[in-house]
Each structure stands twice: as C-alpha cells, then as structure tokens.
Amino acid sequence: MNRVYIVAARRTAIRPKNGDLKTTPFYDLASFAIRALMHDLSSSTCSRGIDVPDDQPVGPLDIHSLIAGNALGAGGNPARLMALAAGLSQQIPALTVDTQCCSGLDAIGLAYERLRASSSTGPTTIFAGGSESVSLAPLRRDRHSGQTYEEAPFTPWPDRDPTMIEAALNLSNARDFRHEVIHDWAGRSFRAEASRRSIVACIGLASDREPRLLTPKLLRRLAGFKPFNPALMAPLADGAAFVALTTDPPLAHSESSVLEILDYRQAGADPQIPGLSCAVLADWLSACETDFQFHRQQMVVSLMESFVVQVLANIQDLDLNPDLVNPWGGLLSRGHPIGASGAVLVCDLFDNLLPGQIGLAIIPAAGGLASGLLVRRLSESP
C-alpha cells in the first residue's frame, strides 16, 4: 500500500447564500481553487529544476483525475464542469461525489483510497475537494405534486425524514445543553483567529466574511427567530475547496507543509438523528489510536459546526478535548457550502496543524452519514 500525502490546499472565501458570491457558478468557484493548486504544483516542480509555464494547463501525465463533491448542482457531472472551467486537460477524467454535507471530505477520502491502492510505479496526483453555489442552486420539481423543492428527501419514508433544523431541535431537546454552554461555544467560534493561507482571491474576495460580535443582547434577540436561533447554526453558503493528494511527497515546497493521510472512514447511522451520526466512528477512532500511537485528547479536530448542539454532542460522544476542537474557529460564523464544507475542514488542518500534530476532519450529513479523515503534519522528510 502506498503512503498518501496532501501537498497543497486551496479554497475560495466562504460567503453566505445570496452574498458576495451569489452570481458565481459552482464551476467558476472551483476553478479559482483548482488553478491555484496547479500553480502551487508548478512552482514546486520548478524548484526541482522542471520548468512549467504558468499559462500551460497541467496535462494528463501530471494529474490522474479530479474528484469533486457537489450536493446542489442538480445532475450531470458537476466535477467535469469544474475541471473544464479550471483549464485542466480534456484528457483528465472527473468524478462527482454527492453524500450531501460529507461530499467534499468523501471526495478527498476516495482520492486517498485510490492512491493508496494504486499499482502505478511512478508518482500519481489527484485533485479532490468540493464546490457549491447555494445561491444559484436550481429548484427541483416533483412530477407527481407539481411542487418545487430545495431540500431533497434523505430517506424513503416521509414520516421518518426530518429536515436538518427539525433534527437539530430534536437533538437540542434530547441533550438539554445549558444555554450558557451553547452560547459560550458560539462566541468562541466567532472570535477565533487562525491562519487562512489556503484562501485564493476569487472575484476580488480574499477573506471570509467578518463575523459579528455575539453579545448576550444579540443572542437574546436572535433567540426569538423561529424555528432556530440563526447564530447557533451555520448559514448556507457559497464556496469551493480543493487539495492535491500525491504518492510523491517531494512535490511539496517543504516537508513541514505536508500532511500525511493516516486513515479515512465512512459510516452510516440513524437518519432521524443525523447530528449524532459521527458517534458511529468511535470504534474506528479507537483503532486509529492504537495503530498510530496517539491519544484522542491530544488530537486537533476540525469538526463541522452545522449546529452548536451537534458540535457539543459529538464532543461528548467521541470523548474529544473541547479545547482542541476547532481552535481556529469552525464554519459557524463562515457558512456551510454543503458540497465543499468537508474539504474546507481539511484546508483548516492544512493551514493550522503544527509539525508532528495529528488532526481529524470529521463531518455528519443529512441521511445519517458521517465521514472522518485522520492526518498528521510531517515534521521531517518522509
């Protein structure tokens, strides 16, 4: 089995639905991140004495494929549109992954599994991630009722298919976290500062939106919104995030910028309580602790903040160290670009993990799915 490394990570700014990115299609959002990855790899090969012009598309011998998550593109093969818009060679195949919120992370996980099992004798590189334009997502129509809808069904049973907000309300009632604990987490997520070096300028935007100050007065006022306090859930958003995975670690500018992927896992759980689906990864995480000789309380976690109650429940169920969960802030204040969110979590790890640290990107999804990617920042040449 091959060792697999993430040697570059790029993403756009994340902006809420109908905000600054509202007129940019998902494939154009993706193109900014993918082109930046191509430039990063070209710069790296130049540093090894191989000259690749900036305006020359990366050809089929350099990149094996593009794997991209997308949840709302409504059909076709959105990844192919992303590849062509970015200027990748027409000979490079593209594959779309739709596991809703897990899509971006699953795209990276699928790329990892392909590279790990590859029988190729030479280095192979795959671009993987996700892109979503919630603002431009087409409306779908039910042929029987004639009604349009934005959220697809997540189970075949209408009476056992709660919306994400309904599921969050049910979870909130079941766990009964104190308001002070919930508000403290939200305030911490909004205030956190961290490196965002993976961001590439997109239509003039080079940073995520500036989070508002969550004062007690504002939280009390927002608590009146029904059915859910908007400060305690990530707003739907537009954005794209991609990473370059390879079996050839010297492609990176330096060893300290490389993440080695240690393991990846998908799992399924009760679709009626999707916020708790990450709990089914507990046995996998325990096995990883044994295999890679670390303790989860010392592991840095990049956890999707769809809802604050979901975060608190996952910390509790997986016995995570809350001080090391999203220490740079999560997506609560930035937004949730559904098909890209899992890849954004990996970009956060790429930007912020220290040499030798182990990090986990983990995300639950509608329909009771969960995915986790375990990585380690290299501290020396592999």
For the chain, percent helix, then strand, then coil, each to nearest 5? Answer: 40, 20, 40
Strands 369-377 and 65-69: unpaired
Does the pLDDT value for residue 248 go beyond 80?
A: no
Neighbour-count burial of 382, counting CB atoms closer than 10 A to its CB (0-12 exposed, 13-18 middle, 19+ buried): exposed
Average pLDDT over residues 262-281: 95
Note the pLDDT of residue 52: 39
Neighbours of 237 (CB within 10 A): 28
* Low-confidence winner among 94-98, 148-152, 153-157 (lowest mean pLDDT): 148-152
pTM comes to 0.93
With vertex at residue 304, the alpha carbon angle to CA 65 and CA 259, rounded to the nearest 5 degrees, is: 50
Rounded to an integer, the average pLDDT of 57-61 is: 47
pLDDT digits (tens, 9 = 90+) for 13-27: 999 999 999 999 999
The pLDDT score that the predictor gives to residue 50 is: 32
How many other CB atoms are found less than 10 A from the CB of residue 121?
A: 6
Please determine, for residue 48, whether its predicted confidence score (pLDDT) is greater than 60.
Answer: no
- How many C-beta atoms surround the C-beta of residue 255 within 10 A? 16
Cα dist from 83 to 27, 109, 235, 269, whole Å? 8, 19, 27, 33
The model's pLDDT over 3-15, given as tens digits with 9 standing for 90+, comes to: 999 999 999 999 9
CATH 3.30.1490.20 at 4-136+235-376, yes or no: no
Residue 49 pLDDT class (50, 70, 90 cuts): very low
| SS3 label, residue 114 | helix
Q: What are the residue ranges spanned by the domains of the chain? A: 4-136+235-376
User: Taking 60 as the threshold, does the pLDDT of residue 36 lie above it?
Assistant: yes
Looking at this protein, which amino acid is placed at residue 303?
A: L
User: Is the CB of residue 244 less than 8 Å from the CB of residue 41?
Assistant: yes
Cα–chain center distance at 171: 23
Give SS3 for 32.
helix
**pLDDT band for position 121 (cuts 50, 70, 90):** low
pLDDT of residue 255: 52
Q: How far apart are CA 14 and CA 46, in angstroms?
A: 31
Residue with tokens 């090894």: 48
Instruction: Give me the chain's average pLDDT, please.
Output: 89
> 293: how many CB neighbours lie within 10 A of its CB?
8
Structure tokens, 173: 């009632």
Q: Which has the higher per-residue pLDDT, 313 or 63? A: 313
Q: Is 359 helix (H, G, I), strand (E, B) or coil?
A: strand
Asked if 70 and 98 count as a contact pair (C-beta separation under 8 A), the reply is yes
